Amino acid sequence: MSTVAAPPSLRERALQSIAKLPPFSPVLNKLLASLSKGDIMVSELADWIEKDTVLTGNVMRMVNSAAYGRMGTVSSVRHAITILGTNRLRNIVLGLSVCNLLGQLKLPAGWSSKQFNLHGIAVANMSDLVAQNMAIEYGEGAFVGGLLHDVGKLLLAVSCPDEYAAVITEARRDHKELYDVEITQLGFSHAELSLKVLEQWKLPLPVQTAARFHHNPDADSTAPGLTPLSRCIQIGDFVVNALGIRAVTDTGANGENADAVMILQALGLGDKADRMIDSFNKDMEALRSVL
């Protein structure tokens, strides 16, 4: 007598959906691989970008946007690198490439790829600014960690749309943290799924760990004596929410009435806070032109 296999659990369905994520572009493959190597050469980065005409056009449009108020036109990728720096431009191109990848997903009604990507790249930018101004463990991973911290939410939206919609509805109705409702209703969180995606993509271990613990960095014991990267991303997320660039799943329970500058000042950043917000706003204005 044959037995009928039990249907996969929600966790299994979510994990299986990792295989359904769109394939990487050649540039994204190279950018992700380069994160484990540290610095890369100007010529190497320029060659990668220039092989993708759409990406090259977006980089040129962004760097020449009114947000930066430059005198004269930036006319080449190499010129853009000399202005922005290799690591910064790598982060920007990584952000644009990931947003393009995730924008290909077919999401359920009520989900906006553009809003999700805007929040992710905003958290990436703010986390990177925090890492530049505080002693953060593996601070060079702050941008990519912030960019991908919520990718587990996409897996849930794609694999378990009805169940996850119910979780979001409860969190909004009762003004609860979405993370807490996930644990209660699903038995696992989007942060755990984000970890699994970043494992699959072979990102550096500190970035994987930061994604896993960005909601509870007190449980992150990977950086004794330093502020863990997970805390940096939590701060970035909180500040971005306070600035009104909220996630598509936002419940209003995190930073609803917070002041972004006061959050940064409370971390001991003093007069750096205003400059960080100004720098963030300038970068986001430029990025909005191509997202």
CB atoms within 10 A of CB 23: 8
Give me the chain's average pLDDT, please.
Answer: 88
CA dihedral 137, 142, 145, 150 (to 10 degrees): 110
CA dihedral 277, 283, 286, 287 (to 10 degrees): -110
233 and 149 Cβ atoms separated by less than 8 Å: yes
Average pLDDT over every residue of 251-267: 76
pLDDT at 251 over 50: yes
Is 0.85 surpassed by the pTM of this model?
Answer: yes
146 and 236 Cβ atoms separated by less than 8 Å: yes
- The pLDDT, as a whole number, for residue 99 is 92
Strand partners, 136: 227
- The pLDDT, as a whole number, for residue 241 is 92
Average pLDDT over every residue of 222-250: 88
Give the largest CA-CA distance in the chain. Answer: 79
258: its two tokens? 């917070």
Average pLDDT over every residue of 250-278: 81
Domains of the chain and any CATH numbers:
22-104 (no CATH), 105-291 (1.10.3210.10)
Average pLDDT over every residue of 224-232: 88
- Give CA–CA dist 66/203, Å, rounded: 34
pLDDT at 37 over 80: no
Average pLDDT over every residue of 83-106: 90
Among 9-13, 71-75, 244-248, name the one with the lowest average pLDDT.
Answer: 71-75
pLDDT band at 7 (very low <50, low <70, confident <90, very high): low
233 and 194 Cβ atoms separated by less than 8 Å: no
How far CA 182 is from CA of 11, 101, 106, 192, in Å, comes to 11, 25, 22, 11
pLDDT at 113 over 80: yes
